[in-house]
Structure 1
Amino acid sequence: MSREQLDCLHADDDAAYVLGALDPAEQQAFRAHLPGCAPCRSAVAELAVMPGLLARLLPENDADVAAPAPVLPALMERARSERRVRRWRDRFAGFLSAAVLGLGAVAIAFPGSPDPDRVLTMAAAPGVPVQATLQVTGRGWGTSIDTTCRYDGAEDVEAPSASVTYELWAVDSTGGQVLVSSWQQVTGREITVAGSTKLGLDDIARLEVRTETGQPILTSRP
């Protein structure tokens, strides 16, 4: 509903005009108003069928007999009521839309809302038979990182038959390092471990999987 429709002083005169119930001065004023008011023109067009409907109420054999006195006021009041209902309905719809948009804006701006998950495949150092993917989620307090890792190589110094310890480290733009998680890796078995850091997602320059001796074997950038 436009501001012009809401503020129109003649919004309730359309039905009376169509039914010929306005006095001459009011009718002249409404006619002068119509060319500049699209909503009123539209309303008059919608109500233009009312005189024909009213004519059907007259006796077929006496076209000169006037309609019963209550008919005209009742039709006028019904038309006006329907117009008022439409205006209030449109006002409420506009208010509801604005409220929904406002709530959406609040939800978007709420600091605790998590960023969309990022799934990263880590790049392995040459000759390292280790695979890992990271599910990285930015949160209001920092970043959560779930690591899924698998070692498929032969048993060696870095992967004895029992297990080997791996660590996930987050490195920021200044070179600062934060331990995110650590786990015991067994040959041929896939392991998923959850971890987190107080670093924000945008503050992480790179993520590294290292052996317990500190040797980087996998690297990824968020």
Structure 2
Amino acid sequence: MTSRVEHTDVGAYALGLLEEDDRQAFEAHLLGCAPCRSELSDLSGMASVLSGIGPVEEYDVPSPEPVIDLLQRKKAADRRTRRGTFVIGMAAAVTLVAGGLTVGTQLNGEAAPQIAQGHANHLGPAEQFYADGVPIEGKGVDGVTGGLVVESKAWGTHAALKLAGVKGPLECELVSVGKSGERRVMTGWSVPPAGYGVPGSPDPLYMHGGSATPLKDIDHFEVVTSTGKKLLTVNV
């Protein structure tokens, strides 16, 4: 192995820029890293977008083939610029989409929603997934409200969380609780003193994460603090 596995490698992996030993190491890393799997689900297919769309002359955008070649040569020159290389590829793809193209991505045969022609989407991945899904409302304590949108994946369960009415500072985790009682941490975060979805800080928090437990085997989800306090329960 020529380099250690990094979470930022997900972008280079999605574009097919990792060398063989790095690719194998990152695929092994994916098995135990739910955040990387979730991010890859959002980003996968971008390379096929770049390589499958011709030049958009109206917007003076270069053809994607030189862009892919540029990224590959940049990757070979300096692996430490993987994040920057991926941003270049993403910028090229966004420019093509802005030209009125309809783009869809696919991971493991699961099609992602298409970006409608001419539609400007400013939502983050977790908020977009939540907005497109059917939320399951949770039961909170001390004024906390929220819900989840969940979906089955080949690797387990993907969920997007909306959380409001919570003040910090706190450290929280989203946990899946299986019917067997098994608990799996799906994602974690810190709540700043101002909080989320409260006076003075009205925007709710959107997070997403993954659990290796299949959705059919999950009894409920919990948002808990680092001290063990349960803030929200979502039954499925």
Q: Give your verdict on TM over 0.5.
A: no
The higher radius of gyration belongs to 1
Sort the TM-score into its range (normalised by shorter chain): 0.3 to 0.5
**TM-score, with structure 1 as normaliser:** 0.41
Q: TM-score, length-normalised on structure 2?
A: 0.39
